[in-house]
Structure 1
């Protein structure tokens, strides 16, 4: 073994050894470790089942593991994955693998370009930060994921700011949003940082835990328990505080009552009673303020609890001195304020209880969606039907749904017919017919038929789970308007405490006698009145109620920022096919020349078109199926280049095509000229049918405009918005449809990739653009627009490119979403105005600025009541959004 010189670098490492049972095992492991070249020292601990090695050369862990295994023991290893961003080719893969494998503790590393993942096996004691640093040093980055945390202990906006600051300080965090209303934090960070995030929150003085997939109902129960505890403490506080208030304030307001107290129990005894009752209020129901507020103050990070704690303790402490050591106070200042301390606690608890009840209503939309999920499913197994817990249902299972029951999971109908009420996902009140092959969504209600479905999506993959996740994400998001609030609230409480000190000093040195009394009362009033609860609740409560109401209407905000952007939209650009129109061509016109049998001609037409793959042919054949027509045998089917098709049916020569094919055949089409012109104006292309060299009929197929499109466009115009249509269809058809719908701007004959350029042109010309598409081929345009709005089908909700998802194909949801955005933003502005103006106006009043002019002072008790009222007002104002109805649409 080589000797280590003092100048040699020292390498140390720890391994977890498995399989050791006695001292001889320890000896064997030590011997095995020391055999590895370079190891200077090896010590093995049986109690901790670990080995510590030292070396003068870099440690070769692979050799150590091999040596330990050869001795008959195992080294504990760990396998984990990282999502890697920035890799584009095989050389990137090689560089990342090389960077990871350079870390001594890594046993193996495999990087997959297709999945963009690194699968790593390493000894269990490895510090994952080494891997992250190695990957970043190689020029790549670890993909972050959304981590959701429940935060406990937050009471006001300054708490939010502190938790956010603590989370953002954790290495690897790219974004952290903390929501006071939902008491959650939404963090973007590597998954490996979860424990660090929880530790950072605890260090800031709060508690955090990761939100689990099934925690929604337990969270609701927990909030109900907290509400019950608040109610209990409020009742105790009121029972104890009311006698204190009567004894003290009754004596001040009613002279006869003052004399009664003085001559019956005595003033000093009255103070003793008030002391006992107030002490009980502070120790029991008021304890929460001191448990949280005083430690926060010691950390130099005061919050709302700190304001209440300092204010009530100041009033209580002064009163105790006046009661038990009055000789220490200047003459004329011996007064007690037990009633202020007791009543402040009672009033703030009253405010918190009312706020908790109101906040519970803000999350009713989520609770309603969670309640949509049935608890069990009726599953077929081995020829028998059994009830299974919904958590045990797996894809592929056959599930029976009886009339009136909710569909337990997403699935495909394999037996039966029925109507399904899908209002919960689409906002549409009319039930949808379902037959074999159709999709059903978990949580929707089976109306009148008996169905069997094959489960296609369960758990977190279901549509309902995706909707809940989207709504929660939107509710937890932070709008740009919140930036100002965040900056103010971080410094608000320290500033208020400074103002309270200044108030005390000014009144003590400049105020009238008894100056100490005035100084104390006004300083306490400043502390109590200035709580920034209302500021912290102003934005998140409105977002919660607004996005929740949107979900009920079938409008899902995937990104909260869309709420603010939609209100400022100038132009709504819409895709044509599937958005303005049904997306499926239908037969719209069919007229025959006198002397021809209409049914016979249509049978021949459908028979020939059944051989064609054209969308027009599909529409004609579908119409024939609806009429239950039998198709005839077709011979010698062929296309006429650029003009139409030809075939033989029962020996008759059939041609189908545009007017120029008929003219080429020497047939005159003027008999249909008026009808053909009308079709052209409606954006339809007329086709003609000839049978044995005779013009027989005219037919038109079109993608019909949805019935709801007309009123939707009108509603957008009523909102003062311009409407543009972007389509790949020919200009003539597009212009005809735009004329019918009164669309302002038409961009036609564009390929999907050119839609992005079209959106950019509209942005340059008009400003903020909302693009509405079907979310599939419109993804680039949805991403380019300021707000991308995807019209879903009720089942495809996870459209990554869109900011807003409309659960139904009804374009009326677009003006509804914009109106909801406007209503929510107006509500937020009302809340912020109230919160800021309230504090700006009442802090000076509490400090006593009106006293020299009007003799008005604000009692700490009234300050507590006003503070509680402020928060309740903000939450109640947000709850008005639950009644949002959106624009009214005229019947088409």
Structure 2
């Protein structure tokens, strides 16, 4: 898979050099074979270059050697022709395919430079007056091959993260059949199969736990570092690592539809997508190609008109053209794109839209949809109070409340049941269970009449509210009556996540304001907003009104990121400058969002924005380096400082070009996500 990613990336590079290699008989796809091919060509040319150097007049003058025999120039010509054809083949075929595509790029420059050098030198062998420069031709091709080989290895490094994601998928699974288990290939698993996952193994397919319990490490998929406990009926994701328990899992998706494969596809298409920065780099690389050819020809004309011989003028022209290769420029952005997209996926940030991700550096306001992002999205018991003699203690009160609520699916009931589990209480039997419409539930538990009711019910029945009763910000309170007397109350709240305050503080440090948007009442919204020191809130907002609130902020000139759960917030997510779907990791189809966060952790939103900024910085650094390098080296190559005895040979030009490309690749590789 790495080769395909590289294929995407370098196709974006103006040099289009993956297409060039398609003529080498590898179909351009097999990346490792391409690296091996360059390595082989490099060594063959290296062996041939040594005799070429020894037979060259220039080297003989330097070394004060006299190697001459009749026909030596023809031997030199044959050796150089072999180097030109065998070593230069990738560049010549690349030049041809670029011309055919009317898209001149790097291969055009190299192909043109070596052809001119070879053509001129050949003419000197067969009678043209002048010095050949076969040795320059050989060293130039040698270094170009080395450069390509080194650079393709660096490029491969940038796509390695994607390969890591692919390797998460185990190759075999233990399928449970009637007569025992059989090891089968992962890709043969279908929906409904039952598989066994032993301790320490990777989960082979998305599914539901049918038997057993274990802690799973999902960090490579969701960025969540703490192992997650999975028990019967819970979802597991393919690629996560099983802890020390044994699990039987019922497969819910075939491997092609699994979460991991969707992520890999998403990463691949995002690496493929061209964003504005990339288009800018492409344009620059195209201009650089044109400038290179013009600068090369101008250099040639100027030196000839100054009375220098053709050989000298040619050498300058070839050096200018080689140094100008827009390779570093062509790879500056794609390498950063490939690395950032794959790294994000490993940290639970799925980038669906590259432009949205790169624009995240412009965000001035983040609008948080409260439930489930800043808060946990589920009710937890925050206070328990007993009144009078009916319930001897808190546990007694919770036990009777739990007995009645055990039959309900309501979020409040779920919160109370969580508390029952936490306190390890056993529940008494219930009879005569009935609902009091809109006001609560009633029944007989442990031989006592119990009612669980809202504050409204107390008022209607003229029951006194207890003296210590006051609601705190975002609490919901239920009262417990035992034998028609008030026995106490249980307060529940949607608890604010521990990470929320830090996330909001970090946004403030980056001059980004945070606004709460919620359907909850004003009191709850104000309480959460104050607690987290946010810049404001919109409360009691109906789903269709969320869109208007976003528009209102945009009219003020804010660049708005909206976080929502991707389903009922779709219109608002689409309206926002950047839509971030939260907590819908398993459902990557959060269509309208540009970015999907697997977890609902608000810290991830901050990481995303900071990582977007870091990614953009890396792109700009790479572009600045790639253009700056050309601005300095082109005049040197043209011979501007010739009178000061500073001259760059074609081979040195090729070394400089390669080094600049490798620097760009290394810089891209330094991009990391700070957690």
1:740–1:651 Cα change, 3 Å: same
The counterpart of 2:328, out of the listed 534, 537, 547, is 534
**Distance in 2 (alpha carbons) for counterparts of 1:153 and 1:471:** 12
Structure 2 equivalent of residue 353 of structure 1: 149
Q: Which moved more, 1:489-498 or 1:466-475?
A: 489-498
1:336–1:380 Cα change, 3 Å: same
**Distance in 2 (alpha carbons) for counterparts of 1:219 and 1:297:** 19
CA displacement 1:160-201 (0-9 Å, x = unmatched)? 4xxxxxxxxxxxxxxxxxxx7xx5xxxxxxxxxxxxxxxxx9
2:476 matches 1:680: no
The counterpart of 1:837, out of the listed 624, 628, 632, is 628
CA displacement 1:94-122 (0-9 Å, x = unmatched)? xxxxxxxxxxxxxxxxxxxxxxxxxxxxx
Structure 1 equivalent of residue 272 of structure 2: 476
Q: How does 1:29-428 map to 2 (within 5 A)?
A: 157-160=13-16, 222-245=30-53, 248=56, 251=59, 254=62, 257-258=63-64, 261-262=65-66, 265-266=67-68, 274-294=76-96, 296-297=98-99, 302-325=104-127, 328-329=128-129, 334-428=130-224
2:664 matches 1:874: yes
**Distance in 1 (alpha carbons) for counterparts of 2:623 and 2:295:** 22
CA displacement 1:645-676 (0-9 Å, x = unmatched)? 66665675655445565466555545314xx3
1:586–1:353 Cα change, 3 Å: same
1:602–1:306 Cα change, 3 Å: closer
Displacement of 1:391 in angstroms is 2.5
Is residue 637–residue 646 contact of structure 1 (8 Å, CA) maintained in 2?
A: yes
1:556–1:402 Cα change, 3 Å: same
The counterpart of 2:340, out of the listed 522, 525, 546, is 546
2:652 matches 1:862: yes
**Distance in 2 (alpha carbons) for counterparts of 1:356 and 1:606:** 64
2:382 matches 1:588: yes
SS class of match (2:561): strand
**Distance in 2 (alpha carbons) for counterparts of 1:607 and 1:375:** 48
1:464–1:219 Cα change, 3 Å: farther
Relative to the length of structure 2, the TM-score reads: 0.91
**Distance in 2 (alpha carbons) for counterparts of 1:153 and 1:791:** 29
Is residue 569–residue 768 contact of structure 1 (8 Å, CA) maintained in 2?
A: yes
The counterpart of 1:520, out of the listed 309, 314, 317, is 314
Structure 2 equivalent of residue 444 of structure 1: 240
1:294–1:578 Cα change, 3 Å: closer
SS class of match (2:48): helix
2:643 matches 1:885: no
Displacement of 1:241 in angstroms is 2.3
SS class of match (1:577): coil
CA displacement 1:785-812 (0-9 Å, x = unmatched)? 1111112354223321211111222221
Is residue 296–residue 317 contact of structure 2 (8 Å, CA) maintained in 1?
A: yes
Which ranges in structure 1 are unaligned for 5 or more consecutive residues? 1-147, 161-179, 184-200, 209-217, 888-892
Is residue 503–residue 847 contact of structure 1 (8 Å, CA) maintained in 2?
A: yes
1:613–1:318 Cα change, 3 Å: closer
Q: How does 1:584-663 map to 2 (within 5 A)?
A: 584-593=378-387, 595=389, 596-598=391-393, 599-610=395-406, 614-626=410-422, 627-635=424-432, 637=434, 639=436, 654=450, 656-657=452-453, 661-662=457-458
**Distance in 1 (alpha carbons) for counterparts of 2:205 and 2:627:** 47
Displacement of 1:831 in angstroms is 1.2
**Distance in 2 (alpha carbons) for counterparts of 1:383 and 1:365:** 40
Structure 2 equivalent of residue 560 of structure 1: 354
Structure 1 equivalent of residue 251 of structure 2: 455
Is residue 105–residue 286 contact of structure 2 (8 Å, CA) maintained in 1?
A: no
Displacement of 1:885 in angstroms is 3.2
Pairwise CA RMSD: 3.1
Is residue 608–residue 634 contact of structure 1 (8 Å, CA) maintained in 2?
A: no
SS class of match (2:176): strand
SS class of match (2:80): helix
Q: Which protein has the larger Cα radius of gyration, Structure 1 or Structure 2?
A: 1
1:749–1:443 Cα change, 3 Å: same
CA displacement 1:407-442 (0-9 Å, x = unmatched)? 111111111111111112111122111111111111
**Distance in 1 (alpha carbons) for counterparts of 2:5 and 2:292:** 30
The counterpart of 1:740, out of the listed 531, 534, 538, is 531
Structure 2 equivalent of residue 577 of structure 1: 371
2:562 matches 1:774: no
**Distance in 1 (alpha carbons) for counterparts of 2:429 and 2:451:** 15
1:220–1:344 Cα change, 3 Å: closer
1:385–1:314 Cα change, 3 Å: same
CA displacement 1:599-646 (0-9 Å, x = unmatched)? 3332333334456664323322443355332234354745376x6566
Structure 2 equivalent of residue 803 of structure 1: 594
SS class of match (1:481): helix
Is residue 827–residue 878 contact of structure 1 (8 Å, CA) maintained in 2?
A: yes
Is residue 656–residue 687 contact of structure 1 (8 Å, CA) maintained in 2?
A: yes
**Distance in 1 (alpha carbons) for counterparts of 2:662 and 2:6:** 23
**Distance in 2 (alpha carbons) for counterparts of 1:594 and 1:271:** 114
Displacement of 1:554 in angstroms is 1.4
1:274–1:869 Cα change, 3 Å: farther
Displacement of 1:158 in angstroms is 4.0
Q: Which moved more, 1:725-734 or 1:651-660?
A: 651-660
